[in-house]
Amino acid sequence: MAAPSWSERVRELLKRMNNFHEPGSSQERCLPFLVAGQRVGSAPPQVAQRLQDYPAVFTVYPAPGRIELHPQLVSHEQRTAAVGQVLGELRELGDFPCLRGWRDEHYEVMAQFWDPPLFSMERAATSLLGVHCYGVHVNGYTWRQGQPCMWLGRRTLSKPTYPGRLDNLAAGGIAAGLGVMETLLKECQEEACIPPTLAAQARPVGTISYTYEDARGIFPECQFVFDLELPPDFEPQVGDGEMQEFRLLGLEEVKEAIPAGDFKPNCALVALDFLIRHGHIQPDHEPHYAELVMGLHRPL
């Protein structure tokens, strides 16, 4: 039997990163999570069952089923405090693996990114309720001997998730109180020592979206993607210890690394998007080209 082609291996990566849409997922069994009448997430059945123990915060309705925050929690502050108390208790009980990665960092919860936030919650707990999360990823590229190359970071071995894997030049989730560009400047400075004057030249080029589930819960994520052309003589430097090194790779090397398992998976999708947009991947040469493009844009 012939080995799977590059396109076939990338298709499998995209399926894994969108497995919530695949047959056999928990999607049909999940309960919509609503706040003030707006759907903001999807809770697996085992989470819904546990939240029944907190009727002053969560109201769990039977079939067809939904979860709502208690209507007496009307302000951002009230909701944040009440949900935070429940999550703290669940963390102490230790039944949900995602809460072992508690970060003391909050994400805003809203129906759409541009909506006013309804409340904020611990980042590590968002997968319990299938809450949409947003981040910023920066493709850093330059030219060597007339050829485009991409700067990639390699994550430190001490990272709790995907240690030692390849990462984009800079990336990070959008924490409560921060905007897209604020996050970009912060992550560029902290992770790669890129001065704000240079980082501010990054161009917004779109988003990628995907939804996957694993033992920790459900992850509907949207990443705001930027391209940053770096001067040929500029080299990113290790900053806050998130990365152990930065490497400059040719685009063909980047392409081969995408399905090889060397990338943090969502960073592989960002790199794939870059290669497609810059014409390094051509529809006449990749039989699953259209499917690859669609796989980068599958919101919940």
Output the DSSP codes for 234-250: ------SSSEEEEEEEE
Q: Checking DSSP bridges between strand 31-35 and strand 66-69, what pairing results, if any?
A: parallel
β-bridge partners, 203 = 227
Query: pTM for this structure?
Result: 0.95
Which CATH architecture best describes the domain 6-20+133-295? Alpha-Beta Complex (3.90)
Round to whole Å and give the CA distance between 78 and 50.
21
Say whether 276 sits in a helix, a strand or coil: helix
63-96 burial code (b ≥16 CB/10 A, e <16): eeebbbbeeebeebeebbebbbebbeebbeeeeb
pLDDT tens-digit profile of 113-160? 999 999 999 999 999 999 999 999 999 999 999 999 999 999 999 998
pLDDT tens-digit profile of 201-247? 999 999 999 999 999 999 999 999 999 999 999 999 999 888 999 99
DSSP secondary structure, 117-141, as one string: P-EEEEGGGGGGTT--EEEEEEEEE
CATH number for the domain formed by residue range(s) 25-126: 3.30.750.160
Round to whole Å and give the CA distance between 31 and 29.
7
DSSP secondary structure, 51-99, as one string: HTT-TTTEEEETTTTEEEE-TT--SHHHHHHHHHHHHHHHHHHT--GGG
Instruction: Tell which residue, 49, 53, 17, has the closest CA to residue 30.
Output: 49
Domain range list for the chain:
6-20+133-295, 25-126
Torsion angle (degrees, nearest 10) of CA 117, 120, 126, 128 = -100
pLDDT tens-digit profile of 103-125? 999 999 999 999 999 999 999 99
